[in-house]
Structure formats: structure tokens, C-alpha cells
Amino acid sequence: MIDISYKNIIKLAFPVMIGMVMHLILGFADRFFIAKMGVDEAAGSSLSGTLYWLLITFTALVSAGTTAIVSRKIGENSDDEAILGASQSIILAIFFGVVFLLIGEITADSVFKFFNASKNVTDIGVSYYKVMLFATPMMFLSIVISAVFQAAGDTKTPMIVFAGMSLVNVFANPIFMFGGMGIPAMGVTGAAWGTVLAEFFGFVWIFYRLYKFEKLKFKISNLFKIDILMMKRVMKIGVWGGLNGFSRPLSALVLQRIVSFHGTSAIAAFSFGIQWISLFFIFFEGIRVAISTLSGQLLGAKRVLDVDIIIKRGLKLGFVVSVFLVFFFFVFSETGISIFSTDSLIIKMGSEYLKIVSISLFLAVPLIVSSAVFMGSGDTIPPMAVSFLANWGIKVGFAWSATYLFPIGVKAIWLGIAIALTFEGIVLYLWLLRGKWRTKVV
């Protein structure tokens, strides 16, 4: 029996939130230690982080299909097909992880020229990025295997693994950066090596837990059986999720290029502001995973009306939490940015970013809930289409106009981000109400 109570939604969501908190600690640790080395180091690693995030979102090429197929088949009590979907997803993750590692290493130098940052910032960013790339195959595998656990209703295992990864990163970063325990000081690239070590640790651990997972009874031998038809089913769903995942951070990449026009302080303020706004998405990542898992399982069990109930409950939970987070961003915006930097200009820009963008977070609630239902149903086209319009037509278009056509200032870029998020939330929820996802076949 699939439980659709508030208690179960929170039970599924809470471990994801904790895992995200630990992942945020990993990001905060990187930003904190790197910021101590200087503004150029903070800006260079920030640009690198944007590029690496672009790679991370490509995992949706596989994980979106993994979530839909595994959750639907579990809802149908088709365990063999669920195992087949999981195993073929892992094979695809290995393939894409290696491919993106190679592409990243080959194109790193030319891609960084796009930002038009200073030579020192560019050199720091390239060296940081090239080290981070070694974690790509392990990152792909960890995220896809996490999707398998979450689709099966086990959100605790990925949480425990991400917590372990974050602790490894927090302890490894200062050692690799500043030296110690027989390890020479590596500067800013030491933070990247700390992340690579954490990703390796996480991959080994979560793969072992999958091998021991009672619900799916996964075997190593499953990885030596190629099923092209199942791979196509995973990719048919995932390709739109992948395009959506690619479009959003790519627009952020272009946006960061526009922000760089306003100077290194603007880049740093943008990076530090994003770190705080991610607090909001910690909660909603938990809601997203819970609702996508439950909606997939419910649709597999032919309990379509119950999906409407979890949509309403997800919205109510989201709006309650949004009130507290938006209040926090307004009251403590300057204090939050000052944790990363004492530069008055960075604090001012970062504080303005937090206040302006936080206004739109209320409408991010229906955005996240709608995206979760579309993902659980396997209907990944609507989120991709709406995201493309919001991020390219509004966010990037507004920022470009406010910077080059009508030079208003960096505050206008923050306003464009808020408008884009508002548009995306409203339109995607209206698309959800059309209800075509109810009859989606995976």
C-alpha cells in the first residue's frame, strides 16, 4: 500500500533535505576556504563551479528516465523490469560519465575564454575545473544510483552517503589546500582534489549499498547484460530531462558571463548569493523527490486521483516553509554575504541579490511540485519547454538588455532572475492542470 499522508511525504523528503544540507556544507566549505585566498580565487572557482554544474545536470539524461521507470514498475509490482531499468541506467551513467570527462578536458581552455574574465581569474578557474573533471564518472554513477534508491522509496541511503561525502570534503579541503599530514599545499586546486576524493568515497559506498539493497536484489551480473530496448526507454524520457538540465545551467553560464561585465565583485556576489538561495531549494529538493517517487508509484498502481492529493499537500508544505525562508533572506541578507567577504561592494551587491530574488520564491513552489509530478509520470517535455522560455527568453534576455542595451546596472540582472522564476512557476503549474501526464506511458 502506497502511503500518501503528510507524514510519508515528509518521511521521504526529510532524508533528501539532510543530504542536501550536507551537500551545501560541501559547497560552503569550498567557498569559505577559497575565499580566504583572495577575490580572484573565489571568482575563478565560481566560474569553474558553474561549468561543473553544467556537467552535473547532464545526469538527467539518465536519472529522469530512471526515476520514472523504476518508480512506475515498483508501483506495478514488476520487480524484474525495475531491476532491468536500474541496471541499464547504471551502464548509461558509466558511458556518459567517461564521455563528459573527456570532452571537458579537451575543451576546458577554450570554454573559459567565454567568460572574458581577467587572466589570473581564468587561469585559476581552468586549473580548478580540470581537476574537478576527474570526479565526473563517479558523480554520474552516484546520482543515477541515488535515483534508483529514491524511486524505490529509500531516500535514507543517498542521504547517508551524501553526508559521508560532505564530511570527507570538509576535512580534506584545508589539508589539500594548505598542506598537512604529509600532503603538500596545492592552493585552490586542493579544494578540487578534496571534492574528487569525496566523490570517489561516495560512489564506492552507494554502489555497495545497492548491491546489498533487499528491495531490488541487484546483482553485479546485471551490468553485463545489455538491453537496448530498455536503454531507449530510459533515454526517451531522459533526453528531455537532459535538455532541461542543460538549458538551465547553460543560461546561468551566459548570465555569469554578463555579470562579469560588472566586475569581479559582481561575480563573487552572485556566487555567494546563490549559496544562500540554495537553502530554499534544499527543502524543495526533498519535496521534489518525494512527490516524483509517489506520483510514479501511484500512476503505476493506477491510483491517479491520489496524485492530485499529494500535489495539494506538496503545495501547502511548500508555501509554509517559503514564508520563513523569504523572511530570513530579507532580514539577514547582509550578514549572510559578509560571512564570505568583508568587501563592502560585494556585500551590497550580494544583499540586493538575496532580497530581489527571494520575492519570487513563493512561485517556485508550484514550479517544483509540478516538475516533480511531470518527472514521476515520465512526461519531461513540459518542464523543458517552460524552462527554456523562462531562462533564455526572460532571464538572459533581460540581463543582456539591462547590461548592454540599456545599461541600468547589476541590480536589474537580479530582477530578471526573479521575473523568470515567477513566469516559470505560473506557466508550468497551468500546464500541469491540463492533466495529460495522467495517461503518459513509459
Q: Could you tell me the pTM of the whole model?
A: 0.80
Instruction: Return the number of other C-beta atoms located less than 10 Å from residue 415's C-beta.
Output: 18
The reply to whether 278 falls in a domain is yes
Q: Which domain holds residue 423?
A: 6-439
* Cell 529538493, residue located: 285
Helix 381-388 × helix 364-377 angle, to 10°: 140
The reply to whether 46 falls in a domain is yes
Helix 156-178 × helix 188-211 angle, to 10°: 150
Q: What is the total residue count of the chain? A: 442
What is the spatial distance between Cα 417 and Cα 419, in angstroms, rounded to a whole number?
Answer: 6
- Give the amino acid at 108: A
The three three-digit cell numbers of residue 284, written as one number:
524543495
The reply to whether 198 falls in a domain is yes
- What number of CA atoms fall less than 13 Å from residue 9's CA on the CB side? 25
The reply to whether 399 falls in a domain is yes
Structural domain count of the chain: 1
The reply to whether 183 falls in a domain is yes
The three three-digit cell numbers of residue 301, written as one number:
498502481
Please say whether the beta carbons of 159 and 152 come within 8 A. Answer: no
pLDDT, tens digit, for every residue of 3-55?
888 899 889 998 988 877 777 666 666 767 777 777 777 777 777 877 787 78
pLDDT tens for the chain, 442 residues long, are 788 888 998 899 989 888 777 776 666 667 677 777 777 777 777 778 777 877 888 888 899 899 999 999 998 888 889 889 999 999 999 999 999 999 988 988 888 877 777 788 888 888 888 988 999 999 999 999 999 999 988 999 998 998 888 888 888 888 888 887 778 878 778 888 888 998 899 999 999 998 888 778 777 787 788 999 999 999 999 888 888 877 877 787 788 788 888 888 888 888 788 878 877 777 888 898 899 999 999 998 899 999 999 999 999 998 888 888 888 888 888 888 888 888 888 888 888 888 888 888 888 899 999 999 999 998 989 999 999 999 999 999 988 888 888 777 788 888 889 999 999 999 999 999 998 999 888 7
* Cell 536589474, residue located: 412
What is the spatial distance between Cα 358 and Cα 203, in angstroms, rounded to a whole number?
Answer: 34
Name the residue among 258, 235, 223, 253 with its Cα closest to residue 56.
253
pLDDT, tens digit, for every residue of 56-95?
888 888 998 999 999 999 988 888 898 899 999 999 999 9
The three three-digit cell numbers of residue 139, written as one number:
558523480
The three three-digit cell numbers of residue 54, written as one number:
553544467
Name the residue among 23, 37, 339, 19 with its Cα closest to residue 169.
23
The reply to whether 23 falls in a domain is yes
The reply to whether 1 falls in a domain is no
Instruction: Return the number of other C-beta atoms located less than 10 Å from residue 32's C-beta.
Output: 18
The reply to whether 65 falls in a domain is yes
